[in-house]
Structure 1
Amino acid sequence: MAQPTTSTPLAQEQSKHLQKSLGRFDILLLVVAAVISIEVLGQVSGFGGETFTWTLILAVTFMVPYGLIFAETGGAFTEEGGVYVWTKMAFGRVVAAITSLFTWVTQPVWVGGAMAFVAVETWSEYVGHVEAGSVGDYIFKLLFIWITVSSAIVSLKHGKWLPSLGAILKVVFLTFFILVTLAYGVQHGFNGLDLGFFAPTLAGFLGVTPLLLFSFLGFESGNSAAGEMKNPAKDVPISVARSSMIAAASYLLPILAILLVVPLDQITGIGGLFGAISTVYTVFGPAADAMLAVSAVV
């Protein structure tokens, strides 16, 4: 059954210029890049063992159903535009415009605020010092923002490589970190964790849930570029299913690894993640500082 045409004549004309260059693996990487937020791992781990418990609960009760919804929707309605098009088909242009606003309004704040500051702080701490408020600080942040913006507005035939590379590096980094943590634990032992340590509390729920829910968002983002996918009806559902499993593991396993090696009172924001990294990388001996610098750049 053919899908109803909801786009204007101008939109249909412009869509002819879209190049269908996204295969199944490309879609998988785009979704992984959107859903996995490494920077939040240290922050949520500061709530202790219940972070792992709430992450597991939310992965089962929120991430999986959420991913299934957009796997079905993305495979059934494959027009360029994703959430905007789906909402317009159901409720009209006004509601679709408001939905798009709420969907994307956090991105400028996230990229220009949190991520830009995390990037410059990480670079300054582990690669080369950048004085806060200096000309170099502003140049670094502006370059970070505009590289991100440029990768989002160019054709995905070329622009897909930046988020795809980011997704690959995220997964490689987290996998390497987990393996090194296991090696460190074998040599030095792990923190003593009992079942009571993982007991969930209301305070932990209120502190962890907003961060995790925001981090889990992104499964619907791929269909914004459905017009550039080779076969969205078949590739989107499979890619979303696979990316949801990768995302769940990429949150649960590193959080557990951080809890195993870093004392709770030392887990604070981005410092919690790099505190864990600097601790476990001592297994490399004199090369530990170099390994830490490479991980910071990644």
Structure 2
Amino acid sequence: MHDTGTAPQPDPADTAEGQGKHARRFGLPAATALVMGNIIGGGIFLLPASVAPFGTISLVAFGVLTLGAICLALVFGKLANQHPRTGGPYVYAREAFGDFAGFLAAWSYWITAWVSNAALAVAAVGYLDVLIPLGDSRYAMMLAALVIQWLPAAANLAGTRYVGAVQVVATVLKFAPLLLVALGGLFTFEAGNMGPFQASGSGPVGAISASAAILLFSYLGVESAAVSAGEVRNPRRNVGRATILGTLGAAFVYLLGTLSVFGNVPHDRLVDSGAPFSDAVNHMFGGTWGGTLVACAAVISILGALNGWTLLSAQTPYAAARDGLFPAVFATKRRGVPTVGVLVTVVLASLLTVYNYTAGSQGVFEILVLVTTFTATVPYLLATAAQLYFLFSGQSARVDRGRLVRDGVLTALAAAFSMWLVAGSGYAAVYQGVLFLFTGVLVYACMAAHKKGAALREQHATE
């Protein structure tokens, strides 16, 4: 273990308070399922068609992104070993750079979580419409989206015992059809369906960058186990392992699934496909039942992702509230779950969903979804910067020069990957994201003033 100079503080909710028969720490399987389930939401079902216009060169971009995600996962594993506390990037940034950096990490991650939850719920409605026709009523779709959000929230409020169980079941159920296409599709693979290596005229570098910009959002969630380290059994051992195993499992499904779809659906059809996995299943087995199968898998996948993201959205504010950087009410924990954080998150996501359907502001909503790619990179960058600080400031004891160089290079690669995420978000998303950050600065000013005032009043009272 590396000595960082700061001993982790025990979480009172992890001892007697806040625990009960419904609170149970995640083992390695549940923690791994949390990572995989959060990385793989509903996007995998549309990704092959989204990158098809660039040609099979998009698989190269996928490979590069996979390496970057693995580097980031390794860094989170090492940081969790040093600081096995709930909060993930928030904890690392605060330990290295103080309260303000920690608050920015917590604030950005919280925005990422609840906006992403709204986006996932709205995306699930499209698949649910295949199973249960909702018609053209915006209000029926809105109601369905709200139900999809509140079901995982109810599982979270029931306790971590149920969160872990739901996550494992959802991960297994959604991976069955994905693996069917990823592995079974290799037996019906036709090289002639692959299309050109480079279908766009922007040059190899431009094509890779453009397709990467679409794929970037697909790897958000590698930090899931680190954020919930306080709810993982033996976090120094299991968080790092779960992060690596979950990321590798997601990468395997992403790459092999996309390759199989490319080889089973002709390129000219894939470019315009609204359900590429359905088309692949239809090619593999014949008939038209693939759409129903994939719709079921998509709904299960998104419910599993919402289950995990709802927990994560409450964990970071909980950790910050314990340190006085978020309102104290967020530190409330029952059955192992920060209940106030869960409720506030699902309410905010629900309000955003209602706004999306009633105002018909689809374009604005899509921009907000892109903002999550930018806001997620703020805690990523702060976490990698914290690791560089720990490595080169002499706080990592018993690290020989060879390991120091290796870990430094790994962290630099993870930081570069995070910067690529920022670049891929686009100007509009970065612009909107900065506004969100500046709003957080004002919130921090109010919280810091309140904290300082309370300290001064206590000082005067003792004089």
2:79 to 73, 82, 96: 73
| 1:91 partnered with 2:97 | yes
- 1:108 is matched with 114
Identity fraction in percent: 21
User: Once the 2 structures are TM-superposed, how far is the Cα of residue 44 of structure 1 from its aligned partner?
Assistant: 3.0
For the 8 Å contact 1:21–1:228, the answer to whether it is kept is: yes
**Range that drifts further, 275-284 or 19-28:** 275-284
The two structures, once aligned, show a CA RMSD in angstroms of 2.8
- 2:458 is matched with none
CA distance in 1, matches of 2:271, 2:155: 31
Amino acid at match of 1:163: Q
CA distance in 1, matches of 2:25, 2:5: 22
User: Once the 2 structures are TM-superposed, how far is the Cα of residue 45 of structure 1 from its aligned partner?
Assistant: 3.7
Closer/same/farther in 2, CA of residues 75 and 268 from structure 1, 3 Å limit: farther
User: Once the 2 structures are TM-superposed, how far is the Cα of residue 3 of structure 1 from its aligned partner?
Assistant: 7.2
CA distance in 2, matches of 1:46, 1:25: 37
- 1:21 is matched with 25
Structure 2: tracts of 5 or more residues without a match: 298-463
Q: TM-score, normalised by structure 2?
A: 0.55
- 1:137 is matched with 141
- 2:278 is matched with 277
CA distance in 2, matches of 1:24, 1:147: 25
Q: What is the number of equivalent residue pairs in this alignment?
A: 285
**Range that drifts further, 257-266 or 65-74:** 257-266
Closer/same/farther in 2, CA of residues 132 and 204 from structure 1, 3 Å limit: farther
For the 8 Å contact 1:116–1:144, the answer to whether it is kept is: yes
For the 8 Å contact 2:8–2:83, the answer to whether it is kept is: no
CA distance in 1, matches of 2:77, 2:134: 43
1:121 to 117, 122, 126: 126
For the 8 Å contact 1:36–1:215, the answer to whether it is kept is: yes
CA distance in 2, matches of 1:134, 1:75: 47
- 1:296 is matched with 295
Q: Deviations over 1:134-183 (max 9, x none)?
A: 43212101101222334455532112223322322332221111233234
Q: Deviations over 1:171-208 (max 9, x none)?
A: 222111123323433xxx44254884499723323322
Closer/same/farther in 2, CA of residues 210 and 100 from structure 1, 3 Å limit: farther
Q: Deviations over 1:59-111 (max 9, x none)?
A: 12x11211110111112210122222222211222211111122231232222
Closer/same/farther in 2, CA of residues 153 and 78 from structure 1, 3 Å limit: farther
| 1:259 partnered with 2:271 | no
2:181 to 172, 177, 196: 177
Amino acid at match of 2:263: L
User: Once the 2 structures are TM-superposed, how far is the Cα of residue 39 of structure 1 from its aligned partner?
Assistant: 1.8
For the 8 Å contact 1:52–1:252, the answer to whether it is kept is: yes
Amino acid at match of 2:296: V
For the 8 Å contact 1:116–1:145, the answer to whether it is kept is: yes
Closer/same/farther in 2, CA of residues 3 and 227 from structure 1, 3 Å limit: farther
1:219 to 200, 213, 222: 222
Amino acid at match of 1:65: C
For the 8 Å contact 2:193–2:267, the answer to whether it is kept is: no
Structure index of larger Rg: 2
Q: TM-score, normalised by structure 1?
A: 0.83
Aligned to 2:233, the other structure's residue is in SS state coil
Amino acid at match of 1:238: R
RCO (CA 8 Å, sep 6+): is it higher in 1 or 2?
A: 1
For the 8 Å contact 1:32–1:246, the answer to whether it is kept is: yes
